Structure 1
Amino acid sequence: MNSTKIPALSENTNLRYANFIALYFAEGLHMGMLFVGIPAWLAMQGKTPTEIGAFAVACSLPWTFKFVAAPLMDRYAYLPMGRKRPWVIGAQLGLTASFVALAFVPEPLQNLDILNIAAFVASFCGALQDAATDGMAVDVLEDHQQARANGFMGGARMIGSSLALAIGSWILNVHGFTAAILAISAMIGLMTFVPILLREQPEEKILPWTAGNASIQNQTLQVTNWSIILKSLYSLFRLRDSMLVAALMFVSMGSYNYFETLLPLFAVKITGWTNTLYSQAFATADLIGGIAGLLIGGYLIERFGKKRMIGIYFFLIMVITSTLILSKTLWENSTFLYGFIITYRWLNAFAKIGVYAIAMQCCSKKVSASQFTFYMTLGSLGSMAGATLIGPMKENFSWDLTFFLFVVLLAFAWLIMYVINIQKLTTQITNFEEVEPADKMNSLLPNF
């Protein structure tokens, strides 16, 4: 087979979409198993909340390092194979290898410290893969393709997560820990062939020892000076609309995490669900939302506009949450709550597709990994802030007032979104990418 016959990502839109579907599917596989599947298994095996919490911390901690890793990806690149593709391939291979190592942790229930270390390494590789994939997406996707691509990416991740929960958990219970983790690692490994075979630009190498050269486009975009990278990020984030995009990420992700952390508590305490039933409902909702996002989520935002569709999704989420608040007589009805969770996760998936598309569009290709990761990091900080509101609200207010705060927070995110001038910001970013490094600061910094 002559690999040079395969078009590069820059040449074929469908291959771009396929590339990111595969990579986000792999991301969903590892996240579903690490963040939901294994913790649930540990709970079934009688491990204490403290022990399960330690495992959760081991999985979550590496994701806080993304903002350190992303500038390294912008600064260091093997351009003959592309700006981000070598990082993606390396992270995918590391993720596959780390899952194989995780599978062979001896007696994991009796060696939780070793299990936590192996999970930390696997999650670290997953965080690197996420940062590299996002940076590649900013680099190779056209602005008008980002909404649809985010629909494909978000949907693929949700499907991967649901598949990991369904298949991985079944194998875990029937054939044991090693077989389950090896099955997930095999699926992740298969996805690695996609970035290996698909180059960013047509003249690049498939592998280090094959023929090819760095593209002129990537050589032009590549920044090799730390001072320029830091000044570039500083100048970009001082722009009014960049700060508003950051605020949108913080408030929207914070509101989601606030509400989604409350939902299982509500389901167990008020509706009388078991944790297993809630997990099944959430997995089903994510599968439906993932498929819908994959098929039409990005298309709708692309067809009718980011702001309009996100506004509709925000509005509908506020409507169904208000309906939940006003329907106290139905709170103990499992069918009602099940339907609410399915509808909410569907709308939530579509809204996130739009918000991520805005963040991606508002990134410079020169510092793509760093800037997009910074937006995502602010979203994570927002999630932490949202979680801290749960205790004070639930201890001092009723369920309906506690839920109403979610409506208020989402309305605030809606307001922030509508005052963002996306066109103005993308024009400023285009100007930023065209000027010489020495002129960047003077040409972009607004007058305060």
Structure 2
Amino acid sequence: MNTGEKSEQGGLLHLLSVRRFAPFFVTQFLGAFNDNVFKNALVVLLTFQAAQWTSLPPEILTNLAAGVFILPFFLFSATAGQIADKFDKAGLARLVKLLEMAIMGFAAAGFHFHDLSILLVALFLLGLHSTLFGPVKYAILPQHLHAHELVAGNALVESGTFVAILLGTLVGGLLAGAGGHPVWVALAGLGIAAAGYGASRFIPAAPPPVPDLRINFNPLSETWRNIAFARRERAVFLAILAISWFWLYGALFLAQFPAYAKNILGGDESSVTLLLAVFTVGIGVGSALCERLSGKQVELGLVPLGAIGLTAFGIDVWLASPQIVPGGIPLDVAALLSRVSTLRVLFDFLMIGIAGGFFIVPLYVLIQVRGDPRHRARLIATNNILNALFMVVGALGAAALLGGGLSIPALFGLAAIVNVVMASFLFVCDREYLQRCRHWLGHARGG
């Protein structure tokens, strides 16, 4: 890492005050925030005003939108990883932000002309924007942070991402439901993108590790080549698989929140926000605790603890969920919070978030520390491809199971049980996790 700053600190608040991290953090936060503002606003519009845009039913439109956004991760992640290894990452961040501003301008035209095809293209381009920024997002951290700061940096990125998702979902829904012309959604997005570009101007240079790299634009061959390379670094590849499993698990829960809040808890629209907020707070707390408990180093011993939490509290959501679907007027947040069963479920979702922070932060740091620096961005790109693949498989599997009559609480319980299998696979293939866990627990008891 090349920096003129000398610091013995590496805590969360300290990193938010230094130029090596703060501008990048603001840039990535606003990017994730903007993605979710636009996505959720579009989904709300297509759900409640579908007839004004197309003859297709809302259920098909919302799933189509989700597929359009995730498609670029399959098509362009391999290329994005090569670009991030070949060019300065700070410069790439600025170019990606300029692209985001152009996309928002294009989306404004779609809203103005009431053209759904333009909006879907804009959504695809936003997915491309996220695909290009993904390898930069994680590969730049080891270049700008000291080794003892990486856990804190990743903790902030993970918690910041989920906060951005929460706030973006809220703001997107508010903009779509405000009753004014929907072009304001794109104009707000343009303003957010401009702010992100302004922050990116202050990101210090991050020289490329392989400036003479010849880019292979064939996504299939390059994807297979990157997967093959990742498999040569066993610990790194297993971490990538574990991260991908977590995103399947987390995305499966998040996708069911609206239906779970309405049909199982009997809540109104605000109850969905409550569930998402509790889960987000959990991720933030878990990530922050991970930094504190790890001693500012890669502490793989926290991963088994996270896996235990994901299973234990996932099963308890299943057991604690009301068995009788409530009827009558949907309950607001205050009414829901007056019920003991709701409080237990909320505690479970909070603990799932905390366990998720324990699980995922050390895995990202492992990839950054043990991955070959010359291939670091391409390893992150491989991770992004597999993340997307796992989430799509999880979504299809959940749809099939729910369509076959499985209840949402039972789906949560099944995911928690499958987590035992996936975690066991990880810990059998790489025994370092359990060894570090025993060592960490022994040290914690002795301390």
TM-score (norm 1): 0.75
Amino acid aligned to 2:171: I
Q: Which of 230, 241, 248 lines up with 2:242 in the alignment? A: 248
- Structure 2 match to 1:117: 121
- Structure 1 match to 2:165: 161
In the TM superposition, 1:342-421 aligns within 5 A as: 342-394=350-402, 395=404, 402-418=411-427, 419-420=429-430
- Structure 2 match to 1:434: none
Shift of 1:397: 5.5
Instruction: Verify: 1:288 aligned to 2:281, yes or no.
Output: yes
**Contact kept? 1:8, 1:200, Cα under 8 Å:** no
Distance in 2 (alpha carbons) for counterparts of 1:142 and 1:33: 33
Distance in 2 (alpha carbons) for counterparts of 1:36 and 1:342: 23
- Structure 1 match to 2:102: 97
Amino acid aligned to 2:167: L
Mean CA deviation greater in 284-293 or 144-153: 284-293
1:105–1:85: structure 2 CA closer, same or farther, 3 Å change rule?
A: same
In the TM superposition, 1:315-334 aligns within 5 A as: 315-327=308-320, 333-334=341-342
Distance in 1 (alpha carbons) for counterparts of 2:322 and 2:228: 52
Shift of 1:233: 6.8
**Contact kept? 1:241, 1:421, Cα under 8 Å:** no
- Structure 2 match to 1:64: 74
Q: Which of 133, 142, 148 lines up with 1:144 in the alignment? A: 148
Q: Which of 8, 29, 49 lines up with 2:59 in the alignment? A: 49
- Structure 2 match to 1:179: 184
Shift of 1:180: 3.2
The one-character-per-residue Cα deviations of 1:18-62 (angstroms, maximum 9, x if unpaired) are 133212212221221233232123212245222333333332222
Distance in 2 (alpha carbons) for counterparts of 1:345 and 1:420: 24
**Contact kept? 1:157, 1:290, Cα under 8 Å:** no
1:290–1:235: structure 2 CA closer, same or farther, 3 Å change rule?
A: closer
Distance in 1 (alpha carbons) for counterparts of 2:181 and 2:3: 40
- Structure 2 match to 1:37: 41
Distance in 1 (alpha carbons) for counterparts of 2:227 and 2:408: 42
Shift of 1:154: 1.5
In the TM superposition, 1:75-94 aligns within 5 A as: 76-77=86-87, 83-94=88-99
- Structure 2 match to 1:24: 28
The one-character-per-residue Cα deviations of 1:285-331 (angstroms, maximum 9, x if unpaired) are 35524653675453444548532222222222322222233335577
- Structure 1 match to 2:329: none
Distance in 1 (alpha carbons) for counterparts of 2:184 and 2:209: 47
1:286–1:403: structure 2 CA closer, same or farther, 3 Å change rule?
A: closer
1:339–1:241: structure 2 CA closer, same or farther, 3 Å change rule?
A: closer
Distance in 2 (alpha carbons) for counterparts of 1:350 and 1:278: 26
3-state SS, counterpart of residue 16 of structure 1: coil
Distance in 1 (alpha carbons) for counterparts of 2:165 and 2:408: 30
Amino acid aligned to 1:249: I
Distance in 2 (alpha carbons) for counterparts of 1:37 and 1:353: 30
- Structure 1 match to 2:437: none
The one-character-per-residue Cα deviations of 1:98-143 (angstroms, maximum 9, x if unpaired) are 11331332446x4211211222223322321223222322443444
Instruction: Verify: 1:308 aligned to 2:301, yes or no.
Output: yes
- Structure 2 match to 1:427: none
Gap runs ≥5 in structure 1: 1-6, 78-82, 202-217, 424-448
Amino acid aligned to 2:315: S
Distance in 1 (alpha carbons) for counterparts of 2:280 and 2:246: 22
Distance in 2 (alpha carbons) for counterparts of 1:338 and 1:331: 18
- Structure 2 match to 1:204: none
- Structure 1 match to 2:138: 134
Distance in 1 (alpha carbons) for counterparts of 2:407 and 2:19: 50
1:166–1:400: structure 2 CA closer, same or farther, 3 Å change rule?
A: closer
1:331–1:193: structure 2 CA closer, same or farther, 3 Å change rule?
A: farther
**Contact kept? 2:302, 2:362, Cα under 8 Å:** yes
Shift of 1:366: 0.7
**Contact kept? 2:38, 2:172, Cα under 8 Å:** no
Shift of 1:91: 0.3
1:279–1:176: structure 2 CA closer, same or farther, 3 Å change rule?
A: farther
Distance in 1 (alpha carbons) for counterparts of 2:188 and 2:161: 17
Q: How many residues align?
A: 393
Shift of 1:264: 4.1
The one-character-per-residue Cα deviations of 1:130-174 (angstroms, maximum 9, x if unpaired) are 232223224434443222111111222222233333334334433
Distance in 2 (alpha carbons) for counterparts of 1:167 and 1:261: 18
Q: Which of 256, 261, 268 lines up with 2:262 in the alignment? A: 268
Shift of 1:85: 1.6
The one-character-per-residue Cα deviations of 1:175-203 (angstroms, maximum 9, x if unpaired) are 432223322321232222233223226xx
**Contact kept? 2:71, 2:124, Cα under 8 Å:** yes
Distance in 2 (alpha carbons) for counterparts of 1:250 and 1:294: 17
TM-score (norm 2): 0.75
1:412–1:148: structure 2 CA closer, same or farther, 3 Å change rule?
A: farther
The one-character-per-residue Cα deviations of 1:193-228 (angstroms, maximum 9, x if unpaired) are 233223226xxxxxxxxxxxxxxxx4765442459x
Q: Which of 73, 83, 90 lines up with 1:73 in the alignment? A: 83
Distance in 2 (alpha carbons) for counterparts of 1:113 and 1:64: 21
- Structure 2 match to 1:205: none
The one-character-per-residue Cα deviations of 1:255-281 (angstroms, maximum 9, x if unpaired) are 33344444544443333344x245312
Gap runs ≥5 in structure 2: 7-14, 52-57, 217-221, 326-340, 434-447
Shift of 1:344: 2.8
